Amino acid sequence: MKPTSTRFLPVADAALDSAQLQRALTTATGRFTAGRLAAGAELANWQSLRNQGRAIREEAIHRLDELLLLLEQNVRAQGGEVFWARDGVEACTYITDLAHRRGVTLAVKSKSMTTEEIALNDALDRAGVTPIETDLGEYILQLAGDTPSHFLAPAVHWNRDQVAQLFVDKLGIPWTQDVGTLTRAARAALRRRFLEAGMGITGANFGVAETGTIVVVENEGNVRLTTSAPAIHVAVMGLEKVIPRFEDLEVLLTLLPRSATGQRMSSYVSLLNGRRRPGEPDGPTEFHLVLLDNGRSRILADPEGRESLYCIRCAACLAVCPVYRRVGGHAYGWVYQGPIGAVLTPQYLGPEAGAPLPFASSLCGACRDACPVKIDLPRLLLHQRERVVEDVVKRHSGFGALGARIAGWFLQTPARFAFAGALVRTFLHLTGTGRWLRNVPGPLRGWIASRDLPKPPARPLRDLVGK
Residues near ligand SF4 (CB under 6 A) are: 311-317, 340, 370-373, 375
Nearest Cα neighbor of 272 from 291, 286, 252 is 286
Of the two residues 24 and 255, which places its CB atom closer to ligand SF4 in the complex? 255
Q: Tell me the torsion sign for CA atoms 28, 34, 38, 39.
A: positive
Bridge-based pairing state of the strands 106-109 and 81-85:
unpaired
Could you tell me the strand order of the sheet in which 213-218 lies?
A: 242-243, 206-208, 213-218, 268-272
Of the two residues 185 and 318, which places its CB atom closer to ligand SF4 in the complex? 318
What lies within 8 Å, CB to CB, of 104 at 6+ separation is 98, 129, 197, 198, 199, 232
In the complex, minimum distance from the CB of residue 176 to ligand SF4, in angstroms, rounded to a whole number:
34
3-state secondary structure 316-343: HHHHHCCCHHHHCCHHHCCCCCHHHHHH
In the complex, minimum distance from the CB of residue 366 to ligand SF4, in angstroms, rounded to a whole number:
10
In the complex, minimum distance from the CB of residue 340 to ligand SF4, in angstroms, rounded to a whole number:
4
In the complex, minimum distance from the CB of residue 381 to ligand SF4, in angstroms, rounded to a whole number:
11
Chain center to CA of 131: 21
Of the two residues 291 and 373, which places its CB atom closer to ligand SF4 in the complex? 373
- Maximal C-alpha separation, the chain: 99
The amino acid at 74: N
In the complex, minimum distance from the CB of residue 4 to ligand SF4, in angstroms, rounded to a whole number:
21
Of the two residues 186 and 317, which places its CB atom closer to ligand SF4 in the complex? 317
- In whole angstroms, give the CA distance from residue 169 to residue 332: 29
In the complex, minimum distance from the CB of residue 311 to ligand SF4, in angstroms, rounded to a whole number:
3
Kindly compute the dihedral angle of the four CA atoms of residues 396, 402, 405, 407, in this order, to the nearest 10 degrees: -80
CB atoms within 10 A of CB 163: 22
Structure letter (DSSP) for residue 454? B
The amino acid at 79: G
Query: How open is the CA angle 182-110-229, to the nearest 5 degrees?
Result: 95
In the complex, minimum distance from the CB of residue 380 to ligand SF4, in angstroms, rounded to a whole number:
9
Of the two residues 140 and 370, which places its CB atom closer to ligand SF4 in the complex? 370
In the complex, minimum distance from the CB of residue 1 to ligand SF4, in angstroms, rounded to a whole number:
18
Of the two residues 194 and 310, which places its CB atom closer to ligand SF4 in the complex? 310
- In whole angstroms, give the CA distance from residue 271 to residue 244: 15
Of the two residues 169 and 250, which places its CB atom closer to ligand SF4 in the complex? 250
Of the two residues 240 and 293, which places its CB atom closer to ligand SF4 in the complex? 240
